[in-house]
Amino acid sequence: MPDVVLAALETAGLGWLIVTTMIAGAVYGFAGFGAALVAMPVAVIFLPPAVAIAAFAVSSLSSVVTILPKALPLVNRRAVGILIATATLSASLGIWVLRVADVTAIRWAVVTICAATLLALMAGWRFSVVPSTRTRAAIGLATGFVGGVSGLMGPIMVLFQLAGRDSIATTRATTVVFLTVTSLSLLPLMYAQGILTAQAVALGLVLMIPYGAGTLIGQAVFRPDRERVFRATAYAIIALATLLGLPVWTNA
């Protein structure tokens, strides 16, 4: 077995990472968002933020097979394409900030963004904007930068999408397509800046199995008529992950 794979299997806290990644996948499967909000606060307890973000991006590629095919036919491809293109454009700057910033500062950024997003979702706050091409481009740029810094591509885009007039099914599908495709588009950007290391890829491949299993479980249990129950469950899980990820619990 290659040394890099053995090293991934010996990662500190791997058991916690596997469990958290599976739960994150399940949340993504039934809520259509929230995977990174669950995974990242816990992952940065055990891993440097750059490694955690790169590994999660690799593991989430399982969504290309497990959840993307059902979502793709339901979206406005032009609208989501603008979001993806602009997010990819600005993500490089965010990745650069991730690479040069203090580790503890990034950890605080992760939990702060998670907490702020959770509060906004629970309070019902939404972006009061018209979904024009210019607006979508601005949202994509902001989302890409935040995602590059913290690995959290979802918050800004989810709040924007929920403010729209699309049906629940279309909103959920658009979020799924955006998050899945941007995870893929981040990989070459991370590689170009030295973030996508062999260690991160190996760990991401290890976590891909529990993440994929989680998304399948989430899809299987989801019931549209109980959407509020599933959303409340997602909020509770995100809140717990955010609390666990607070840097005050460790010396990192």
List the chain pLDDT tens, one digit each, 252 residues: 567 767 778 888 899 999 999 999 999 888 888 889 899 999 988 999 999 999 999 999 888 888 888 888 988 889 899 999 999 999 999 999 999 999 889 989 998 998 888 888 887 776 666 678 888 899 999 999 999 999 888 888 888 887 777 777 788 888 889 998 998 899 999 999 999 999 899 999 999 999 999 999 998 888 877 878 888 888 899 898 888 888 866 544
Coil, strand or helix at 250: coil
Per-residue pLDDT at 252: 42
Whether 153 and 84 have beta carbons less than 8 Å apart is answered as no
Per-residue pLDDT at 126: 67
Q: Which pairs with CB-CB distance under 8 Å and at least 24 residues apart come from 75-80? A: 75/170, 75/173, 75/174, 75/177, 76/170, 76/174, 79/131, 79/136, 79/174, 80/174, 80/177, 80/178
Per-residue pLDDT at 137: 92
| Integer Cα distance of 152 and 194 in angstroms | 19
Whether 82 and 136 have beta carbons less than 8 Å apart is answered as yes
Per-residue pLDDT at 5: 67
Per-residue pLDDT at 11: 85
Whether 106 and 49 have beta carbons less than 8 Å apart is answered as yes
What pTM did the predictor assign?
0.85
Please tell me what DSSP assigns to residue 165. Answer: S
Per-residue pLDDT at 85: 95
Per-residue pLDDT at 128: 67
State pLDDT tens for residues 41-53: 999 889 999 999 9
Per-residue pLDDT at 132: 82
